[in-house]
Structures are given as C-alpha cells and as structure tokens.
Amino acid sequence: MLTDRDVQELVAGVLEIDVADVGVDKSFYVDLEMDSLHKAEFVVALERACGTEFTPSDAAEMDSVGDVLRLLRDRRRVP
C-alpha cells in the first residue's frame, strides 16, 4: 500500500528535486514543471511500486499527488 509520502518520493526521484517541494496538491506540470517524458517515467515507477498497470486515460488524470492517491484509492491500492 502506497502512502502520500511514497508517491511524493516517486515524483521527487523522477524530477530530481527535494521531496519537500512535492506538495500533495501541486500540479505536476504547472508547479513542478514535469514534462511528458517525466510523466511516462513516473507512471512506470508507480506501476512497479504498486504492482498494477494504468491506462493512458488513468495517466492523463494524474496531475498531482492528490490525483494519484484518489486513483489508487479507487483501485484499493492505498488505505
């Protein structure tokens, strides 16, 4: 089960930034300047971390840690 901190660490690792800069509601694109290559890398890391695959439409919905957590909750991958 992934926590918000786990997702923040994945984002920080992909973007090579401090995890403290990755707020739950910060936009991946606007606030953190994630590009499409970073997004693909993040989705692959997330899939590996939680043992599931995401559709392209799932990935498109992920614009913040909060969005990712909502999606994972819907799939019962986080408490």
Domain annotation covers residue 79: no
**How far apart are the C-alpha atoms of 42 and 34, rounded to whole Å?**
10
Structural domain of 59: 4-74
pLDDT of residue 78: 54
Tokens of 51: 């043992």
pLDDT of residue 2: 87
Report the chain's mean pLDDT, rounded to a whole number. 93
- The CATH number given to whatever domain includes residue 15 is 1.10.1200.10
Domain annotation covers residue 52: yes
pLDDT digits (tens, 9 = 90+) for 46-71: 999 988 899 999 999 999 999 999 99
Domain count, the chain: 1
Radius of gyration of the chain (CA): 11
Burial of 76 (0-12, 13-18, 19+ CB in 10 A): exposed
Domain annotation covers residue 42: yes
Q: Is 51 left (phi over 0), alpha (psi -120 to 50) or beta?
A: left
